Amino acid sequence: MCGNEACGEGAMIAGCAFYAGYPITPQNELTAYMAKRMHETGGVFIQAESELAAINMVFGAACAGVRAMTSSSSPGISLKQEGISYLAGCELPCVIVNMQRGGPGLGNIAPSQGDYFQAVKGGGHGDYRTLVLAPASAQEFLEYTILAFDLADKYRNPAMILGDGLLGQMMEPIQMPAVRDQKQVTEKPWALTGCKGREPNVIRSLILAEGGLEEHNKKLQEKFKLITQAEVRYETVHTKDSSVILVAYGSVARIAKSAMEMARAKGIKTGLIRPITLWPFPEKVIGGACEITKKFLVVEMSAGQMVEDVRLAVNGRAQVEFYGRMGGGIPTEYEILQQIEALAAK
């Protein structure tokens, strides 16, 4: 299965009942997969007239209480930002998949990690956060898509899967998880179902009463604080004894791992921290690693976005270097190895 299809199958296992999307490369396999699977299972698939319509259809389906998803790639995700802000403001759960491509603008259709800021800092208007999961394989695409639905429901917040064109297109074997009991899906007493036997529900983000919006924002921030305490996920390799620690996520983390092994074979004790949740960011584990090493190397397919969060986590306690490729360029393990050697020699 390719990453796009694995993501789609993860959504089906999670009980996704509604998908709306719009064609854009490199995520079209996901849309096609959902069209097929929704037809087979009696779910709803809509090819929307625009990215705006797609995210707002997801808004509607989320209002109505079902697990809903949309997917796109970078320029399309920019268009969805209005809707994501409304979903966050209305505390509606949903899953948004971004198979990043090169930018800015129309860019190209090659892999990129240039949307990190947009994904983890909010993206749309207003003070909000989106849960962001970064898989590094087709298997993880499947598993983290399921997790994204669970976390979205648990916290009543949009969750994003941040992949890239490389992961979306790459074919890998998948081990299917056990079929889930859909009864475990969260109860949603707030959903719009018709007010039979209860007071009417209203889903809105407009709060005009004096002080009301500040209260609502405080409540959201409390929730975000809870998420940062409970939902940080990451992988560490050889971080106990390393003189250089790499920080990379997604497909780049796999390349970085190869570079790490090459460096270790050359006698440079190198480790890797791979954030799995980009928001909440694993700042404690990165900050804690300053006790082990004074040298970090952040590798991204961007001009340097996650490196800013690494520097915040390190907070001046260690040297943080960056190596990145942009516009569809993919760092090779040799390029990363050179950077490791240069940093180790400093």
Partner 1 sequence: MKKTEPNIVFSRPITLREAENHYCAGCGHGIVHRLVCETVDEFNIREKVIAVAPVGCAVLAYDYWDFDVAEAAHGRTPAVATGIKRVRPGNIVFTYQGDGDLAAIGTAEIIHAANRGENITVIFVNNGVYGMTGGQMAPTTLAGQKTSTTQYGRSLRREGYPIKILEMLAVLPGTRYLERTSVHSAHEVLRTKRAIKKAFQMQIEGKGFSMVEVLSMCPTYWGMSPIQAADRIKNEVSTFYPIGVIKSC
The residues of the shown chain that bind partner 1, judged by CB under 8 A, are 17-18, 20, 44, 46, 48-50, 52-54, 56-66, 68, 82-83, 86, 90, 192-197, 200-206
Q: Which is nearer to partner 1, 25 or 201 (CB)?
A: 201
First to last CA, the chain: 43
Give the HSE-up count for residue 164: Cα atoms under 13 Å, Cβ half-sphere.
27
Q: How far is CA 65 from CA 51, 91, 110, 204, in A?
A: 21, 12, 36, 15
How far lies 105's CA from each of 81, 109, 120, in Å?
Answer: 15, 11, 19
Q: Are 296 and 308 in contact (CB under 8 A)?
A: no
Please answer whether residues 80 and 22 qualify as being in contact, where contact means their C-beta atoms are separated by less than 8 angstroms: no
Pick between residue 68 and residue 109 the one whose CB is nearest to partner 1.
68
Q: Of 196 and 346, which has the nearer Cβ to partner 1?
A: 196
Sign for the pseudo-dihedral over CA of 11, 221, 134, 233: negative
Q: Is the dihedral of CA 241, 242, 245, 246 positive or negative?
A: negative
3-class SS of residue 112: coil
Q: How far is the CB of 195 from partner 1 (least distance, A)?
A: 5
Which residues, in sequence order, are bridge partners of residue 99? 163
Q: Cβ atoms within 10 A of the Cβ of 316, count?
A: 9
Q: How far is the CB of 85 from partner 1 (least distance, A)?
A: 9
* Tokens (6 digits) for 219: 């409540």
Query: Least distance (Å) from partner 1 to the CB of residue 35?
Result: 14
d(CA 28, CA 44): 17
Task: Classify 2 as helix, strand or coil.
Answer: strand
Of 185 and 326, CB closest to partner 1: 185
Nearer to partner 1, 48 or 262 (CB): 48
User: Cβ 201 to partner 1, closest distance in Å?
Assistant: 5
- Residue 177 preceded by cis peptide, ω within 30: no
Strand partners, 272: 237, 246
* Min CB(182)–partner 1 separation in Å: 15
CB of 14 to partner 1, least distance (A): 16
State how far the alpha carbon of 206 is from the alpha carbons of 89, 90, 234, in Å: 9, 9, 36
Q: State the residue for tokens 């809870």.
A: 226
61/237 with CB nearer partner 1: 61
Tokens (6 digits) for 296: 């970090």
Q: Which CB, 58 or 340, lies closer to partner 1?
A: 58
Residue closer to partner 1, measured from CB, 22 or 155: 22
Nearest-approach distance from CB 124 to partner 1, in angstroms = 10
Query: Minimum distance between the CB of residue 82 and partner 1, rounded to whole angstroms?
Result: 6
Q: Which is nearer to partner 1, 53 or 312 (CB)?
A: 53
